[in-house]
Structure 1
Amino acid sequence: MFQELAPHDPHDKCGHHYAICLDLKNQHFEVLDSMRSAADAVLTTHVECFINNLKETWNRHYEHSKVQIIHFPIEYVETMKQGNKTDCGFHMLEYLAKWEGRLVHVLTTAMVVELRKIYTWN
C-alpha cells in the first residue's frame, strides 16, 4: 500500500509504504508497517477503508466461492520500526519478499544501505 501523508498539499508528495497481506489459511488480514502501529488512527482508517473495499469487491466477484473473506479480522503485526522517514519502501519490499506469516524479518540500517545498492544496480 502507498498512503499519501499530505493529500491536501499539492506541493508535498511525501508518502508512506506498508504491506497488507491476506492470509486465507488463518482467515485474517495482516498489516505490516515499519513506522506505525494499530494505535495510529491515520493508519487504521486507511487500512480499514482499503480492506472494506476489498471485501466488497471479493463478495461481488466471488460470491459463489467456498472462500469468503467478509468476516476476516485485521491483525496488526508488530514489526521493528525504522529509524528515519525514508526507508519504508525497503521495509515493505522485504516484508513482501520474506513474510511467511510467522516471523517478521528484521531489517537493519546496514541492510537498507545494501538494498539501495542492489535496487540501484538492478
Structure 2
Amino acid sequence: MFHELAPHDPHDKCGHHYAIYLDLKNQCFEVLDSMRSAADANLTTHAEFFINNLKETWNRHYENSKVHIRHFPIEYVATTKQGNTTDCGFHTLEYLAKWEGRLVPVVTAATVVELQKIYTWN
C-alpha cells in the first residue's frame, strides 16, 4: 500500500509504504507497517478503507466461492520500526519477499544498505 501522508500539501509529495496481506489459512488480514502501529488512527483508517473495498470486490467477483472473507478481522503485526522517514519502501519489499505469517522479517539499517546495493546492481 502507498499512503500519501500530506494529501493537502501541494509541496509535500512524500508518502509511506506498508503491506497488507490476506491470510486465507488463518482467516484474517495482516497489516505490517515499519513506522506505525494499530494505535495510529491514520494507519487504521487507511488500512480499513482498503480492506473494506477489497471485501466488497471479493464478494462481487467471488460470490460463489467457498471462501468468504467478509468476517476476517484485521491484525496489526508488530514489526521493527524504521529509524528514519525514508526507508519504508525497503521494509515493505522485505515483508513482501519474506512474510509467511509467522516470523516478521527483521530489517535493520544495515539491511537497508545491503538492499540499496542489490537494487542498484539489479
TM-score (normalised: structure 1): 0.99
Distance 1:12 1:84 in 2: 17
Q: Secondary structure at the match of 1:70?
A: coil
Distance 2:65 2:111 in 1: 42
RMSD of aligned Cα (Å): 0.5
Q: In the alignment, what sits opposite 2:36?
A: 36
Q: In the alignment, what sits opposite 2:90?
A: 90
Corresponding letter in the other structure for 1:11: H
Unpaired runs of 5+ in structure 1?
A: none
Q: Which one is further off, 8-17 or 34-43?
A: 8-17
Corresponding letter in the other structure for 1:104: V
Q: Secondary structure at the match of 2:51?
A: helix
Distance 2:12 2:103 in 1: 35
Q: Secondary structure at the match of 2:37?
A: coil
Q: In the alignment, what sits opposite 1:3?
A: 3
Distance 1:121 1:10 in 2: 33
Q: Structure 1 residue 9: deviation in Å? A: 1.1
Q: Deviations over 1:26-83 (max 9, x none)?
A: 0000000000000000000000000000000000000010001000000000000000
Q: In the alignment, what sits opposite 1:105?
A: 105
TM-score (normalised: structure 2): 0.99
Distance 1:2 1:26 in 2: 25
Identity of aligned residues (%): 85
Q: In the alignment, what sits opposite 2:58?
A: 58
Q: Secondary structure at the match of 2:75?
A: strand
Distance 2:103 2:43 in 1: 22
Q: In the alignment, what sits opposite 1:72?
A: 72
Distance 2:65 2:75 in 1: 23
Distance 1:85 1:72 in 2: 31
Distance 2:83 2:93 in 1: 17
